[in-house]
Amino acid sequence: MTTSESKVSQTLAALGVTTAEQVQSLFAEVRQLFDEDMSKDAVQILWKELRDKWIGRKSGLLTLIGDNWLKVASPDLKRTVGQELNKLKSHVQEVLSRREAASDSSEAGQSIDLSLPGVLRPIGTHHPIRQVFQEIEDIFFSIGFSVGEGPEIETPYYNFEALNIPEHHPVRDDMDTFYLDLPKGAPGPLLLRTHTSPVQIRTMEKRQPPVRVIVPGKVYRRDNPDATHSFMFHQIEGLAVDTDITFCDFTGTIDYFVKQFFGESVKTRFRPSYFPFTEPSVEFDASCVFCGGTGTAKSGGTCGKCKGSGWIELFGAGMVDPAVYGFVNYDPKKVSGFAFGIGIDRLAMLKYGIDDIQVFFQNDVRFLRQFP
């Protein structure tokens, strides 16, 4: 302890200080001591120690000066001691806080290692199903279609009846349906739509021809999950109705879509099929995208994807059954049109060579990252 430091533990009387001038020079001495401390290299003396030494609550030098010099000063010196102590305090506070701010920022500076790679904050991407939706929407936008929407909770009327599927029609069996468990007395029944086709009806109820819509959305069926089934999957419904739409417009539109989606070299064909709301109904196939339609795999064996046929089933479609127009007050003698229902998950699986539909719903980033 330097002599100046030891002085603070004695009273002014004991130090022989009796005049204001002596008080001032005593304080000047302490101030100089403080300034010397502050000029020391921060590495030589711990920062916290310095703070404690000067402004520590119990035994910091300023507290000692207050106790030993001010409190017990003789009445004629008290005023000067008080003033000098206040000046010293504000000097100490100011210098300490300036030093502290400087040391904070220099610590922060030390923690930046410019040789380290930056922190990558990955930005999410659209789910592959959403990307396929987008791609298909863009193709149909380019030929004058717009997007329509409808509810996922439907009435049997829109999901079945108005689509020409009466109550005991066997096709309802194909679509094992989730019915909602409604409270007693609630108007019902309600179900989770089994396809996007009800939006055909909802759209035609609202609009007069010409109508050109696609309806992307979720649909639900009571299927047990496996590599090709899921209780929820995705469809895009398509509907075009006008006064002069022909079967050629229909097949030409589908062919255009398939070529845009899978590539110009893909061929299409259709086979007769059955849906209650289309007449005639067809099933569209595309030449197998895996073996180029040859039926033979690169290895020389039979292509496993098309089982050697060279064709892959894509989706159902057809000319809108005139009976459907009856439900929406369109005149079947004046209008004609076509409709289609594309299973998106299946199409995405074909396009990207995915053989398990479940990967779409597991949200494993190792899978999702492959669709940047």
Choose the stretch contacting ligand DAH; rule: CB under 6 A; options: 96-104, 182-190, 316-324, 351-359: 316-324
User: For residues 33 and 129, which CB has a smaller minimum distance to ligand DAH in the complex?
Assistant: 129
Q: Is residue 316 a contact residue for ligand DAH (CB under 6 A)?
A: yes
Shortest distance (Å) from residue 279 CB to ligand DAH: 10
Contact between 158 and 202 under an 8 Å Cβ cutoff? The reply is yes
Choose the stretch contacting ligand DAH; rule: CB under 6 A; options: 72-80, 99-107, 131-139, 334-342: 334-342
Choose the stretch contacting ligand DAH; rule: CB under 6 A; options: 27-35, 136-144, 313-321, 361-369: 313-321
Shortest distance (Å) from residue 221 CB to ligand DAH: 9
Please pick, from the candidates 92, 129, 233, 237, the single residue that binds ligand DAH as defined by CB under 6 A.
237
**Which secondary structure element, helix H or strand E, spans residue 213, and what is its range?**
strand 211-220
Euclidean distance between CA atoms 188 and 182, whole angstroms: 7
List of residues 6+ apart from 287 with CB closer than 8 A: 266, 267, 268, 293, 310, 311, 312
Q: Is residue 318 a contact residue for ligand DAH (CB under 6 A)?
A: yes
Please pick, from the candidates 195, 202, 212, 346, the single residue that binds ligand DAH as defined by CB under 6 A.
195
User: For residues 171 and 297, which CB has a smaller minimum distance to ligand DAH in the complex?
Assistant: 171
Shortest distance (Å) from residue 289 CB to ligand DAH: 21
DSSP-based three-state secondary structure for 202: helix
Choose the stretch contacting ligand DAH; rule: CB under 6 A; options: 16-24, 82-90, 130-138, 311-319: 311-319
User: For residues 84 and 321, which CB has a smaller minimum distance to ligand DAH in the complex?
Assistant: 321
Euclidean distance between CA atoms 132 and 141, whole angstroms: 14
Residue count at the site for ligand DAH (CB under 6 A)? 11
Residue nearest ligand DAH (C-beta atom): 341
Choose the stretch contacting ligand DAH; rule: CB under 6 A; options: 111-119, 120-128, 180-188, 333-341: 333-341
Euclidean distance between CA atoms 344 and 215, whole angstroms: 12
User: For residues 52 and 279, which CB has a smaller minimum distance to ligand DAH in the complex?
Assistant: 279
List of residues 6+ apart from 12 with CB closer than 8 A: 18, 23, 26, 69, 72, 73, 74, 77, 81
* Block residue for tokens 């064709």: 311
User: For residues 26 and 348, which CB has a smaller minimum distance to ligand DAH in the complex?
Assistant: 348
Cis check: omega of the bond before 210, within 30 degrees of 0: yes
Residue 15 φ/ψ, nearest 5 degrees? -85, -5
Q: Is residue 198 a contact residue for ligand DAH (CB under 6 A)?
A: no
CA dist 18 → 51, 61, 62, 86 (Å): 30, 21, 20, 19
Euclidean distance between CA atoms 276 and 9, whole angstroms: 104
Contact between 77 and 23 under an 8 Å Cβ cutoff? The reply is yes
Which residues sit opposite 37 in a β-bridge? Answer: none
Please pick, from the candidates 339, 344, 349, 359, the single residue that binds ligand DAH as defined by CB under 6 A.
339
Please pick, from the candidates 203, 230, 278, 287, the single residue that binds ligand DAH as defined by CB under 6 A.
278
Q: Is residue 197 a contact residue for ligand DAH (CB under 6 A)?
A: yes
User: For residues 139 and 297, which CB has a smaller minimum distance to ligand DAH in the complex?
Assistant: 139
Q: Is residue 317 a contact residue for ligand DAH (CB under 6 A)?
A: yes
Q: Is residue 154 a contact residue for ligand DAH (CB under 6 A)?
A: no
* Greatest extent of the chain over all pairs of C-alpha atoms, in Å: 123
202: tokens are: 């909802």
Which spans of this chain sit near ligand DAH (rule: CB under 6 A)?
Answer: 195, 197, 237, 275, 278, 316-318, 339-341
